[in-house]
Amino acid sequence: GIKNTNVPNLDGSINNTDDDEDVVDLAANSLLNKLIRQSLVESSHLVEVLQKDPSSPLYSVKTFEELRLKEELLKGIYAMGFNRPSKIQEMALPMMLAHPPQNLIAQSQSGTGKTAAFVLAMLSRVNALELFPQCLCLAPTYELALQTGRVVERMGKFCVDVQVMYAIRGNQISRGTNITKQIIIGTPGTVLDWCFKRKLIDLTKIRVFVLDEADVMIDTQGFSDQSFRIQRALPSECQMLLFSATFEDSVWQFAERIIPDPNIIKLRKEELTLNNIRQYYVLCGDRKNKYQALCNIYGGITIGQAIIFCQTRRNAKWLTVEMMQDGHQVSLLSGELTVDQRASIIQRFRDGKEKVLITTNVCARGIDVKQVTVVVNFDLPVNQLGEPNYETYLHRIGRTGRFGKKGLAFNMIEVDKLPLLMKIQDHFNSSIKQLNPEDMDEIE
Ligand code: ADP
């Protein structure tokens, strides 16, 4: 992936003047996912578990009752509409709630229930009668910290005396203040400041330490060093938990250095496939010509909702204007919007308020809009060398085999780009049929 060197602004937007392609902003993407997620993400894979002590029995739970939680916490869980633990929670929760506490490194894609799991662990270990910080959660950005805090507040709705405080830039708090809130959620820099410079938090009293979104965290300059400095001041009996949506080597190295004697849980991602997608291409001249072909396709078949991908922001804008002038209801999802604006555009699209969503690569990463049956590549995805970007092609068009519906994909190809398309076809060993846009009967 592309490394993020741009630190997001407080509102989640990115200082990115590059018109060619949006920069991947992991934190913004992660926030976007949280804002639009409505339910658990499924996976047909088995949870892999590596125990710190392989000879100890491995517990898993199928119900929340089995966890013997405090009454008020169980009530909070059911009030959120959770009926049973998610796949990863089945394995993770018994470890996280064990006595004596066990450390954990857990990896699974976003939406599989990690946040809910560690919030549950924090709430179950907190002593409401003790008025000082007992749980500390590090998050990569202000907004992500707030999202986690919201989950604490919802799940802890009936834990009346438990309170959350945010150690984030901009949260003014004067020296010598006695923090009475039990759960602190914050970004590494501010937490470090509150602990060492301003002596607002006594790290020796922390019982649960959570590192959320570790992959996003290490992507931000300075955050891993700051996390280490915090971690080193924690007492040896403090429970340490680390979560990540991905596990590249760098995340893995960070995780194993910062979490002593961990149990490890992994849930592999559902793989994308092109098997249930019918793929077509139309040979075109310039972009006006591509647009004409697109209109013909549009007129020729009944399309529910469609996503159209462009390679550059400029093209995406141009196409949006063209389609609007022709009376189509379209919306443009582009990188210069704030995360909130993007989330609201995606939500409107999900609700069917617009039929067409035009976007560039990066914006729509990881966003699954289940009802979309048609994907159009207005431009083929290519890398800086002008080679096809296979991964992006798969991300745009592919569906997960078990849960995905059938789909249609159209590629608008300038004649000189045909070799790229052939490479894509060979790479995936799946056929992409040529289509004459004047004759839609060819679409089976
Ligand atoms: P992650 O941290 O892995 O991204 P979350 O904990 O945010 O996942 O969970 C994703 C979504 O699923 C959220 O909307 C959350 O409320 C919901 N969720 C989490 N656990 C459960 C559960 N056991 N049952 C039903 N929904 C759940």
Ligand 1: distance of its center to the CA of 348 in Å?
22
For residues 255 and 104, is the Cβ–Cβ distance under 8 A?
A: no
Question: What is the rounded average pLDDT of the residues 27-45?
Answer: 82
* Mean pLDDT of the residues in the chain: 88
- Nearest partner of 211 among 231, 196, 232, 183, judged by Cα: 231
pLDDT at 402: 59
- Nearest partner of 423 among 389, 379, 398, judged by Cα: 389
For the chain, the 3-state helix, strand and coil shares in percent, each to the nearest 5, are 35, 20, 45
Q: Name the residue with higher pLDDT: 132 or 109.
A: 132
271 pairs with which residues across the strands? Answer: none
Residue with token string 């009944």 = 302
Q: How many other β-carbons are positioned within 10 Å of the β-carbon of residue 285?
A: 11
Kindly indicate the confidence band of residue 9, based on its pLDDT and cuts at 50, 70 and 90: very low
Q: Whose CA is nearest to atom 13 of ligand 1?
A: 39
Position 168 pLDDT exceeds 70: yes
Ligand 1: nearest atom to the Cα of 88: 3
What are the pocket residues of ligand 1 if the criterion is a CB atom closer than 6 Å to any ligand atom? 37, 39-40, 80, 82, 85-86, 89, 110-116
Kindly indicate the confidence band of residue 43, based on its pLDDT and cuts at 50, 70 and 90: confident
- Condensed to tens digits (0 to 9), the pLDDT of residues 70-91 reads 999 999 999 999 999 999 999 9
In the DSSP assignment, the letter for residue 66 is G
Is the ipTM higher than 0.95? The answer is yes
Residues 6+ apart with CB under 8 A from 297: 282, 376, 410, 435, 437, 440
- Residue 294 to residue 322: CA distance in whole angstroms: 11
How far, CA to CA in Å, does 43 sit from each of 78, 111, 407?
A: 23, 10, 20
Position 21 pLDDT exceeds 50: no
Full-model pTM: 0.85
Ligand 1: distance of its center to the CA of 149 in Å?
14
Tokens of 242: 């680390």
Q: Which of 32, 43, 78, 86 to mutate to test the pocket of ligand 1 (most atoms within 8 A of CB)?
A: 86
Q: For a pLDDT cut of 90, what percent of the chain falls above it?
A: 61
pLDDT at 57: 82
- Residue 134 to residue 182: CA distance in whole angstroms: 5
Q: Which of 36, 37, 78, 109 to mutate to test the pocket of ligand 1 (most atoms within 8 A of CB)?
A: 37
- Condensed to tens digits (0 to 9), the pLDDT of residues 203-235 reads 999 999 999 999 999 988 899 999 999 999 999
Q: For a pLDDT cut of 70, what percent of the chain falls above it?
A: 90
